[in-house]
Amino acid sequence: MSTSSLIVIILIGAFATFMLGRQRSLSVAAPLGGKRHLHSLPNYYGSFSSLLWAIPALGILALWLIFDDSVIYNLVWASMPEHLQALSDQERSLIYNQIQGIAMNGSADPSVDPAMIKAAEHMNSLLDSSKTALAIVSILAGIIGSAIALSLVKETFQARNKVESIIKVFLILSSCIAILTTIGIVLSVLFESLRFFQSVSPIEFLFGTHWSPQIAIRADQVGSSGGFGAIPLFTGTLLISAIAMFVAVPVGLMSAIYLSEYASHKVRDMVKPVLEVLAGVPTVVYGFFAALTVAPSIRNMGESIGLSVSSESALAAGLVMGVMIIPFVSSLSDDVIHAVPQAMRDGSYGLGATRSETIRKVVFPAALPGIVGGVMLAISRAIGETMIVVMAAGLAANLTANPLDAVTTVTVQIVTLLTGDQEFDSPKTLAAFALGLVLFAITLTLNVIALHIVNKYREQYE
Amino acid sequence: MSLTDTADASTGLAFGDEPSTVQENSSMDVSTSDIPETAVGQPLVSDPKMTMRNVDVFYGEKQAIFKVNLDIARNEVIAMIGPSGCGKSTFLRCLNRMNDTIVDCRVGGQIELDENSIFDAKLDVVSLRARVGMVFQKPNPFPKSIYENVAYGPKIHGLASGRTELDEIVETSLQKAGLWDEVKDRLQEPGTGLSGGQQQRLCIARAIAVSPEVILMDEPCSALDPIATAKIEELIAELSENFTIAIVTHSMQQAARVSDRTAYFHLGYLVEVNDTETVFTNPSHRLTEAYITGRFG
Ligand SMILES: Nc1ncnc2c1ncn2[C@@H]1O[C@H](COP(=O)(O)OP(=O)(O)OP(=O)(O)O)[C@@H](O)[C@H]1O
Ligand SMILES: [Mg+2]
């Protein structure tokens, strides 16, 4: 029986056990005088039976599918003749792939080692019996589960509460997946970074000002001395993000205030979606807009007043990135400003305050935590943004605070380090992980600081 | 006013506050033809603080107030009563143009404060609201410290020239609102941390800090317990020495206890205005009588 038909059977079974559980609770209730004498509604008894059928059956199915392959692999190898057993791991997996091919498609090629054909036959029989066993075991587990559930159905049995706690477990598991994934990513980045720091000292990495991540293949090669000082990258990131926030925060905040406090409903309903479209434009589009339109015009403007501007500049990337981020700031701020109770505004107007006084002194402080949250999200977006910078700010790792120079950022360097043919354990590729780690630490610190500031200064309304 | 007074009033059922559970359909069935063109009783006074002539209010297409004529005398407490939805709040909010903040709310007719139209282009709505203050149904202190709550109005109107003067205004306002003794040691704590009754008195202190001439109160006690209510009522009696007060209330005992005159609204019309005593003991209009005897609420 194939896996998909097994899943269908389990689902049909789930429906059947639901009906059974429901029916059973009704027949328990009948002599007592109707379903209001049950602890829970009949549907809860149904759901409970159905869950006790489906969870064991699907659980066994999932576990089986995870461990299936490695068990079969070991069993197939165990039955192999000596001369194949003696091979190295890499050759083994090559041969195993061939065996899999033969098992699936058959082989007409007479030159194939007969031992392999035998192994393929063995594999096929193993697969068959595995599928049959899986079907039997999982359905059996489901039957046991639902039998227990059905035997529990009594008027005093608290099916409603049981279903509630099963749902709770599912919710907890889902949030665990998110948390565990984050932990997993952080750990893997951490371990790769540690490997990087074995070849490059953390001091050089964190405080060095020279970035040219080349590792010489021959000792006499040009540019053989690689430099892994990450300072220029972080200043580049900070410079561009700062320019972006300089554009996005005032513009976004003021348009949010206009939308929520001054605009009529009609205007608001029209303008807000248009602003949010900005967030939907792919960053690569912003990227070529920055590279082809903004950067040249900044250059021309700079030259006309006698400044030397490189054709790729931090200013161009930062400005366009700021525009990209405006909807984050404006949309989130608009929502929180809107959520400030009308009673606060009425109180202020009732004392003879003007609109802008009311906004500055009452609405804005009350909305501050949410606004800071929106700005933090925007900063994280700015720091993590890659595409615009690649296209508009260049790849040159200059250590400069001049927005008219070309700079590069951490994320751009991570991309260039990892693209192309690379050995995966050279310091050059491992440097990407170290950069990622530091970036992660920076965003985390920013968030913690912001949280702290918000808690300290917020004006909480009920 | 002590707790026992309040309790007496509600058990004494002098005016039947609680409407009887069974509503008499016949008395609910009032046609607008039954409502007089101008209010019966004495809607007009000599030398009024505020005058309203032919005031109409529309919410979009819907008319909520019809041709109301009413005077408010100097330093009086006037109570507005009437069934829910009859337009008491709407009318009250006309007096300091708070209705301006509601989209598509339109006010027609003439309203004067000290014989100057409040719709006059020369008169700034902001200064109007400083002269005609407002206390709302639900206490709405700002999420700032107690001190900042009271200092808010004086600050935006520049009423104090220095810190000491501001301190003084805050102290006297809190004293007038009967809150000073309870909060003088914690002026820097948030106003939202006070109890409901204290919050409402804070809102009253906030309103009187800008020294308004008229104070509008829209059901100021409806979110409060009897003790807090008694305190606010006591406060209203004291404030009426210096201020003109218009108060909307659902409690007829409260109207009877605190007000000099009472106005009864019905379906957007002003039906009857008279001395409080007269309205409650000898109402002239059938609708007023039906309402105060609890035949509909
Ligand atoms: N913002 C608004 N938009 C549209 N109609 C409104 C608005 N506010 C009030 N109304 C309508 O105007 C009428 C009068 O309302 P108002 O709030 O003045 O009544 P009220 O006498 O204060 O009632 P209550 O005693 O329940 O507070 C009601 O029919 C109400 O539905
Ligand atoms: Mg009201």
Per-residue model confidence as pLDDT tens digits over A244-277: 999 999 999 999 999 998 988 889 889 888 888 8
Interface test with B, best of A260, A351, A355, A363 (most B CBs within 10 A): A351
At A461, list the tokens.
């309304």
Beta bridge mates, B216: B134, B246
On chain A, the residues whose CB falls within 8 A of the CB of B157 are 352
Going by pLDDT thresholds of 50, 70 and 90, the confidence category of residue A103 is confident
If you search the block for the tokens 């059922």, which residue do you land on? B13
- Amino acid identity, position B74: R
Look at residue B12 in the predicted model and tell me its pLDDT: 38
Using an 8 Å Cβ cutoff, are B202 and B146 in contact? yes
Which of B69, B79, B76, B78 has the alpha carbon at shortest distance from B111? B69
For the cut 90, the answer to whether the pLDDT of residue B56 exceeds it is yes
Look at residue A459 in the predicted model and tell me its pLDDT: 63
Compute the mean pLDDT over every residue in chain A, rounded to the nearest whole number: 86
Look at residue A216 in the predicted model and tell me its pLDDT: 53
Look at residue A250 in the predicted model and tell me its pLDDT: 95
The C-alpha atoms of residue A20 and residue A47 are separated, in whole angstroms, by 10
Candidates 3.20.190.10, 3.30.300.30, 3.50.7.10, 3.40.50.300; CATH matching B3-8+32-292: 3.40.50.300
pLDDT digits (tens, 9 = 90+) for A78-96: 888 777 777 777 788 888 8
Look at residue B23 in the predicted model and tell me its pLDDT: 42
For the cut 80, the answer to whether the pLDDT of residue A381 exceeds it is yes
Best-predicted range by mean pLDDT (A117-131, A420-434, B32-46, B157-171): B157-171
Going by pLDDT thresholds of 50, 70 and 90, the confidence category of residue B31 is low
As to burial, measured by CB atoms within 10 angstroms (0-12 exposed, 13-18 middle, 19+ buried), residue A326 is buried
Mean pLDDT throughout A325-350?
Answer: 91
- Amino acid identity, position B295: R
Look at residue A78 in the predicted model and tell me its pLDDT: 84
For every residue of A160-221, DSSP letters joined together read: HHHHHHHHHHHHHHHHHHHHHHHHHHHHHHHHHHHHHHHHS-HHHHHH---EE----SSTT-
Asked if B141 lies within 8 A of A347 by C-beta distance, the reply is yes
pLDDT above 70 coverage of chain B, percent: 88
Asked if A460 lies within 8 A of B96 by C-beta distance, the reply is no
Mean pLDDT throughout B254-261?
Answer: 93
Q: Does A263 touch chain B (CB under 8 A)?
A: no
Look at residue A328 in the predicted model and tell me its pLDDT: 87
Distance of CA B207 to the CA centre of its chain: 13
On chain A, the residues whose CB falls within 8 A of the CB of B126 are 352-354
Going by pLDDT thresholds of 50, 70 and 90, the confidence category of residue A217 is low
* SS3 assignment for chain B: CCHHHHHHHHHHCCCCCCCCCCCCHHHHCCCHHHCCCCCEECCCCCCEEEEEEEEEEEECCEEEEEEEEEEEECCCEEEEECCCCCCHHHHHHHCCCHHHHCCCEEEEEEEEECCEECCCCCCCHHHHHHHEEEECCCCCCCCCEHHHHHHHHHHHCCCCCCHHHHHHHHHHHHHHCCCHHHHCCCCCCEHHHCCHHHHHHHHHHHHHCCCCCEEEEECCCCCCCHHHHHHHHHHHHHHCCCCEEEEECCCHHHHHHHCCEEEEEECCEEEEEEEHHHHHHCCCCHHHHHHHCCCCC
For the cut 80, the answer to whether the pLDDT of residue A127 exceeds it is yes
Look at residue B262 in the predicted model and tell me its pLDDT: 94
Which of A117, A124, A147, A153 has the alpha carbon at shortest distance from A45? A153
Beta bridge mates, B116: B113
* ipTM over cut 0.85: no
Look at residue A461 in the predicted model and tell me its pLDDT: 61
pLDDT digits (tens, 9 = 90+) for A353-363: 999 999 999 99
Going by pLDDT thresholds of 50, 70 and 90, the confidence category of residue B33 is low
The C-alpha atoms of residue A381 and residue A394 are separated, in whole angstroms, by 19
Lowest pLDDT segment from A105-109, A317-321, B160-164, B171-175: A105-109
Q: Does A353 touch chain B (CB under 8 A)?
A: yes
pTM: 0.73
- Measure in Å the smallest separation between the Cα of B190 and chain A Cα atoms: 8
Look at residue B29 in the predicted model and tell me its pLDDT: 46
The C-alpha atoms of residue A275 and residue A287 are separated, in whole angstroms, by 19
Interface test with A, best of B101, B127, B131 (most A CBs within 10 A): B101
For the cut 60, the answer to whether the pLDDT of residue B40 exceeds it is yes
Compute the mean pLDDT over every residue in chain B, rounded to the nearest whole number: 85
The C-alpha atoms of residue B189 and residue B194 are separated, in whole angstroms, by 9
Q: Does A262 touch chain B (CB under 8 A)?
A: no
B85 CA distance to ligand 1 centroid (A)?
5
Using an 8 Å Cβ cutoff, are B128 and B118 in contact? yes
Alpha-carbon distances, residue A344 vs A80, A350, A444 (angstroms): 80, 10, 34
Mean pLDDT throughout A166-192?
Answer: 93
Using an 8 Å Cβ cutoff, are A372 and A453 in contact? yes
Going by pLDDT thresholds of 50, 70 and 90, the confidence category of residue A458 is low
The C-alpha atoms of residue A250 and residue A333 are separated, in whole angstroms, by 11
pLDDT digits (tens, 9 = 90+) for B67-81: 999 999 999 999 999
B89 CA distance to ligand 2 centroid (A)?
4
Going by pLDDT thresholds of 50, 70 and 90, the confidence category of residue B58 is very high
The C-alpha atoms of residue A441 and residue A462 are separated, in whole angstroms, by 34
As to burial, measured by CB atoms within 10 angstroms (0-12 exposed, 13-18 middle, 19+ buried), residue A271 is middle
Using an 8 Å Cβ cutoff, are B281 and B112 in contact? no
- Atom 5 in ligand 1: which residue has the minimum CA distance? B59
Pocket of ligand 1, beta carbon within 6 A: B 59, 64, 82, 84-90, 102
Look at residue A219 in the predicted model and tell me its pLDDT: 52
- Atom 17 in ligand 1: which residue has the minimum CA distance? B89
If you search the block for the tokens 């749902």, which residue do you land on? A167
Look at residue B46 in the predicted model and tell me its pLDDT: 87
pLDDT digits (tens, 9 = 90+) for A280-296: 889 889 988 888 898 88
pLDDT digits (tens, 9 = 90+) for B210-239: 999 999 999 998 878 888 888 889 989 988
For the cut 60, the answer to whether the pLDDT of residue B139 exceeds it is yes
pLDDT above 90 coverage of chain A, percent: 35
Look at residue A108 in the predicted model and tell me its pLDDT: 65
Asked if B192 lies within 8 A of A362 by C-beta distance, the reply is no
Look at residue A50 in the predicted model and tell me its pLDDT: 94
B280 CA distance to ligand 1 centroid (A)?
25
- Atom 8 in ligand 1: which residue has the minimum CA distance? B90
Q: Does A368 touch chain B (CB under 8 A)?
A: no
Using an 8 Å Cβ cutoff, are B19 and B297 in contact? yes
pLDDT digits (tens, 9 = 90+) for A24-67: 999 998 888 888 888 889 999 999 999 999 999 999 999 999 99
Look at residue A283 in the predicted model and tell me its pLDDT: 87
